[in-house]
């Protein structure tokens, strides 16, 4: 049972729910969840590129097309739905007028540049811009890690230094800020690190304990911010970095767990939910009230977002993803056929 509730798909959906909680309560822990998404992205991209895409014809091109195919259709649909919501709500003009038409249209269709939009229709989509930038260089980083001439420890130390320098120098290439998190996941994949159940318990339990101790301490404003942040709220970004590093071993642990039969669906739903929840947050903001009223509004919004996410997954995302998977598989079969043909020709030439 433990392996089922610790499945990777359910954990990804849990992370998306944490982002929802971050945007609807005072609990400022959503950034930690995004950092864990980056770690998991690094892990799975390494595994997929070295294990699947590398065996295809023109692996880098196949990989880029596959990644774009996986993200862009759902993003474009939800982006259009969000823009329609903003139009009905009378707030689309503010987003459109805040930047150039080219920047607005390209970012809302192809993700690149979304993080630099002055007004983001889907506020959480800045992280997808970071992911897309990472995808461009991930195969090179995977090759570096597979090279094994430099120890993983040194690579992670350099990654931490690069991330810190990028943040404090205000580097415009935002993905560089998060180099450490991507490489933590890639390093775990390259070394086939499989945290034990004990390590997973220490990681998850330690993270929960740190959160609890902060919340009940005089420094609670580190993680409890909201509309009226306290004197320590400026430390929230730093606290989220530490919490993400605490949680990383558990995140890697989930990648080796079986999960429920629907775990793959949970993983896919985390993407739809992550993109859609911002609209629910905007709707909640237009319905102020007491604590009970807000809880009811949040619950209804959560149910609605999950329902719409499931519909998009079943009737739109899953069919498209199956086509993508078949396309990648055909490119694998093609290279296998070419290899067998070349081997047969070589054997014929070398034969008696």
Q: Please state the domain extents for the chain.
A: 8-349
- Taking only the tens place, the pLDDT of each residue in 289-326 is 888 988 999 999 999 999 999 999 999 999 999 999 99
DSSP per position, 203-249: HHHHHHHHHHHHHTSTTGGGTB-TTS--TTGGGHHHHHHHHHHHHHH
- Taking only the tens place, the pLDDT of each residue in 66-96 is 999 999 999 999 999 999 999 998 999 999 9
d(CA 264, CA 37): 16
- Taking only the tens place, the pLDDT of each residue in 173-221 is 999 999 999 999 999 999 999 999 999 999 999 999 999 999 999 999 9
Question: Which DSSP category does 287 fall into?
Answer: S
Higher pLDDT, 331 or 1: 331
Tell me what the mean pLDDT of segment 165-169 comes to.
94
In this prediction, residue 5 carries a pLDDT of 84
The tokens for 24 are: 């609807």
In this prediction, residue 339 carries a pLDDT of 55
Residue 350 confidence class, pLDDT cut points 50, 70, 90: very low
Distances (CA, A) of 141 to 72, 144, 252: 23, 5, 19
In this prediction, residue 200 carries a pLDDT of 96
- Taking only the tens place, the pLDDT of each residue in 234-287 is 999 999 999 999 999 999 999 999 888 899 999 999 999 999 999 999 999 888
Report helix, strand or coil for 214. helix
Place of tokens 């070419």: 338
Rounded to the nearest integer, the mean pLDDT of the chain is 92
Cα–Cα nearest to 304, from 284, 280, 281: 280
Residue 45 confidence class, pLDDT cut points 50, 70, 90: very high
Share of the chain above pLDDT 90, in %: 82
Do residues 328 and 56 make contact, with C-beta atoms less than 8 angstroms apart? yes
d(CA 27, CA 21): 7
pTM above 0.75, yes or no: yes
Q: What are phi and psi of 57, to 5 degrees?
A: -70, 135
In this prediction, residue 72 carries a pLDDT of 98
Residue 352 confidence class, pLDDT cut points 50, 70, 90: very low
d(CA 45, CA 41): 6
The tokens for 197 are: 């159940």
Residue 3 has pLDDT above 70, yes or no: no
Residue 347 has pLDDT above 50, yes or no: no
Tell me what the mean pLDDT of segment 2-19 comes to.
90
Residue 228 confidence class, pLDDT cut points 50, 70, 90: confident
Do residues 322 and 42 make contact, with C-beta atoms less than 8 angstroms apart? no
Do residues 317 and 73 make contact, with C-beta atoms less than 8 angstroms apart? yes
């Amino acid at each position: 049972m433990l392996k089922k509730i610790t499945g990777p798909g359910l954990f990804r959906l849990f992370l998306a729910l944490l982002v929802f909680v971050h945007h609807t309560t005072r609990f400022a822990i959503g950034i930690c969840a995004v950092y864990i998404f980056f770690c998991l992205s690094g892990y799975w991209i390494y595994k997929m590129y070295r294990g699947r895409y590398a065996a295809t014809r023109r692996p880098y091109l196949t990989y880029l097309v596959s990644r774009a195919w996986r993200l862009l259709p759902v993003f474009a649909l939800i982006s259009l739905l969000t823009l329609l919501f903003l139009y009905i709500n009378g707030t689309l003009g503010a987003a459109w007028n805040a930047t150039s038409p080219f920047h607005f249209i390209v970012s809302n269709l192809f993700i690149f540049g979304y993080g630099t939009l002055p007004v983001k229709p889907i506020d959480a989509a800045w992280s997808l811009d970071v992911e897309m930038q990472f995808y461009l260089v991930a195969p090179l980083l995977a090759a570096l890690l597979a090279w094994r001439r430099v120890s993983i420890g040194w690579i992670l130390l350099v990654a931490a230094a690069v991330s810190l320098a990028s943040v404090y120098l205000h580097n415009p290439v935002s993905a560089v800020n998060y180099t450490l998190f991507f490489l933590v996941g890639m390093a775990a994949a390259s070394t086939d690190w499989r945290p034990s159940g004990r390590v997973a318990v220490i990681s998850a339990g330690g993270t929960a304990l740190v959160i609890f101790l902060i919340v009940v301490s005089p420094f609670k404003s580190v993680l409890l911010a909201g509309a009226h942040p306290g004197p320590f709220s400026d430390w929230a970004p730093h606290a989220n970095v530490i919490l993400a590093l605490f949680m990383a071993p558990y995140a890697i642990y989930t990648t080796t767990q079986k999960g429920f039969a629907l775990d793959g669906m949970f993983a896919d739903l985390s993407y739809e939910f992550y993109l859609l929840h911002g609209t629910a947050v905007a709707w909640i903001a237009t319905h102020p009230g007491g604590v009970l009223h807000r809880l009811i509004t949040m619950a209804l919004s959560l149910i609605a977002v999950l329902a719409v996410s499931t519909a998009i997954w079943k009737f739109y995302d899953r069919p498209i993803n199956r086509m993508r998977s078949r396309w990648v598989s055909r490119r694998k079969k093609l290279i296998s056929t070419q290899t067998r043909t070349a081997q047969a020709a070589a054997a014929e030439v070398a034969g008696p």
